[in-house]
Every structure is written in structure tokens, then in C-alpha cells.
Amino acid sequence: MKAFEIRKPGDYGIIETDVPDISEEEVLVKVGYAAICHSDIDMLTGNRKHLVRYPNIAGHEFAGTVVKTGSRVLGFREGDTVACECMILCRQCPECDMGYVSCENYSELGFMQGGGFAEYCAVPARNCHRFTKMTMEQAALTEPMGNGLAIVEAAQIRPTDTVVIIGPGPIGLNAMLCARLKNPGQIIMVGTRRERLKYAQGAADALVNIREEDAKARIMELTGGKGAQVVLMCATTVSACELALEIAGQNCRIIVEGVPGETPVPVNFNDFVTKVLTIRGVAGVTSEQFRRVISLVENGYLDPLRFVTHTMALADIEKGFEMLQARDQDVVKILVKP
């Protein structure tokens, strides 16, 4: 089969390799569509230092059709269409027992074992979620939409809240769609690139371009001087972190998904007490959230295809990576078809 392999940072390409064997608890999935994520680029460039193994077939956002099942697999049969969850939890260690995703025996499709940028992928049956009413393209985007949902659910949005989302990348845009479902008072999308901000039009109540206006002043104006009750940090710059703290109003929940690498950000701890702030990090998507996304998409509440700008053959995937890295094209989310 054809697959996209990353041998080591900077060394990658399409290879011809064997169809993977499956264990008795796995199914073989014929990949229908897979999506390119920024963390794939981090794996290409060597920016992702932890939870990554080389060489590996990349791709962690994908869906496909079950073509073979392991001997102990219950509940799936050939022909089932499934969205695949990339985080593999052992469900036996103390962390798993507590319901956390910080499994002591963690593995991940596309980073630590073979992923979805391939014609076929071996997937633990527990990581497969059957779908019937959405398209294969929509199903391939369950994982990144799950990231958006996870951020929003961590924020416990209330109906009158002002929700500020910093960073209109794929996760920030998905978080915006999920936040909309909570009927907040208003959603303000903050970004630096006009071509990205335009994707928030219609779902956000206001767009703020940091390069063109004083973001803090504008947000204070939009909130009657109160600031935000929820800030969803989906950008990766120090200035974005500083802005998040500056615009936080009383009782604000700041949910951190994007971080500026290892660069420290000065924080005034007084604000935590005087404004009763909460800062919470979010990583990953639980199986329950994954299933919730499928239900929301299948029932028409969310459409992850809204931000798909390109679809290409797996053979052209390197072009997709180049387009995303160049940042200057009108590109948000790219689907590849093996």
C-alpha cells in the first residue's frame, strides 16, 4: 500500500509498504479521508519533542471503512464506516482508572504508531466509532472538532457570557462553532490574519484584527468595560497570552489550548484573586466527546466541512504541507484521499 512516512525530522515521503497486520483487538480500516493538522507539521519539522516516534506513518485525523476485524472484536463488521480516535489509552493504569487521558502506557495513531496517511490503518476497535448519517469527509474531521468541543466544555459557558477566542486557526474556528451551541451572549474572534478571520464571519458576533486595531480597547468597548467571561486561547504567541490576561473580566475562565512553546509569559498572580480567574489547560479529546461530536454532526448542529479549503490525493500531500507552512495562501483545512 501507499503511505506517507516521516523517517525523521526533515526526512519524509510517500512509500510503498505492506498492509499492516492487525491484532485480535484491532480492525483494519481502509482510509476514506484523512486531514492534515498543524501537529503533523510539528512532527515533520521536529518541533514535537514528546509523544512521537520515528519512523512512523503520520496522520491522526481520519475515517474509513472496516475491511477486516480481529478475532476478539465485538461490535464491528466489514463494511462499517468509522471515525477513528487517535489517542490510545490502555484503560488499565491508575490514570485511565480516574478517567484522565494521561495514560501511563499512552500511544497515538499517527505519532507513535501507524496513522491514517495510508491506504490502510490498524486501529484498536475501541478507537473506532461507527457513523451512518454523515459523510466520510465530515467523519475524518471528528478529532479536530473534538478538540474544539473539549475546549468549550472546559470553559462551562453560560448564556450571558462574552466568549473571546484568540486564534482563528482550525481549532479556534471549531471551538467557535462549538461555543455557538452554548448560546453565549457574544462571541468575539481575535486574530492577525484577515484571510483567516473571514472564516469566523457569520458565527462570531465580532471580529478583531490585532494588526489593525487596539484589541484590548475594542474588546472592552464590546463588553461595556467588563471584559470577557471566557477566553479560549488557540494561538501560540506570547502576546496572545498577555492579551488573554488583559481582557479577562471577573470570574473569567481562560482555557489554554495553544501555547508559545517553552517561552515563559509573565503573569500577575494578583489578578487570580481580585478577578477570581481560572486558567485551565486542555489536551486531547475524550471518547465521550468524540462520540458527542459525531452525534452533533450527524444531527446537523455542526459542520466541520465549513473550514475545508482543499482536498487532494495522498500522493500530493507534500504540497499540502507546503501550503500550510507558507501561511500566505487561502488555506485552513486540507483533506487527503489515499
Residues that bind Zn ion (CB under 5 A): 37, 39, 90, 93, 96, 103
The least distance separating Zn ion from the CB of residue 47, rounded to whole angstroms, comes to 14
Closest CA to 177 of 148, 213, 135: 148
CB-nearer residue toward Zn ion: 148 or 227: 148
The residue whose Cβ lies closest to Zn ion is 37
C-alpha distance across the termini of the chain, in Å: 10
51 conformational bin, left if phi > 0, alpha if psi -120 to 50, beta if neither: left
The least distance separating Zn ion from the CB of residue 225, rounded to whole angstroms, comes to 37
DSSP string of 131-160, one letter each residue: -SSS-HHHHHTHHHHHHHHHHHHHHT--TT
CB-nearer residue toward Zn ion: 158 or 337: 337
Instruction: Round to whole Å and give the CA distance between 203 and 199.
Output: 9
CB-nearer residue toward Zn ion: 58 or 215: 58
The least distance separating Zn ion from the CB of residue 36, rounded to whole angstroms, comes to 9
Q: What are phi and psi of 223, to 5 degrees?
A: -110, 15
The least distance separating Zn ion from the CB of residue 162, rounded to whole angstroms, comes to 28
CB-nearer residue toward Zn ion: 110 or 184: 110
The least distance separating Zn ion from the CB of residue 30, rounded to whole angstroms, comes to 21
Tell me how many degrees the CA angle 231-232-238 measures, rounded to the nearest 5: 90
The least distance separating Zn ion from the CB of residue 167, rounded to whole angstroms, comes to 15
Cβ-Cβ contacts under 8 Å for 86 (sequence gap 6 or more): 60, 61, 108, 109, 110, 111, 115, 127, 143
CB-nearer residue toward Zn ion: 18 or 97: 97
The least distance separating Zn ion from the CB of residue 170, rounded to whole angstroms, comes to 8
The least distance separating Zn ion from the CB of residue 60, rounded to whole angstroms, comes to 6
Dig out the grid coordinates for 279 from the structure. Answer: 486558567
CB-nearer residue toward Zn ion: 137 or 242: 137
Instruction: Round to whole Å and give the CA distance between 29 and 60.
Output: 13
| Cβ neighbours, 10 Å, residue 112 | 16
CB-nearer residue toward Zn ion: 39 or 192: 39
How far CA 239 is from CA of 47, 163, 265, 266, in Å, comes to: 20, 18, 9, 11
CB-nearer residue toward Zn ion: 62 or 215: 62
99 conformational bin, left if phi > 0, alpha if psi -120 to 50, beta if neither: left
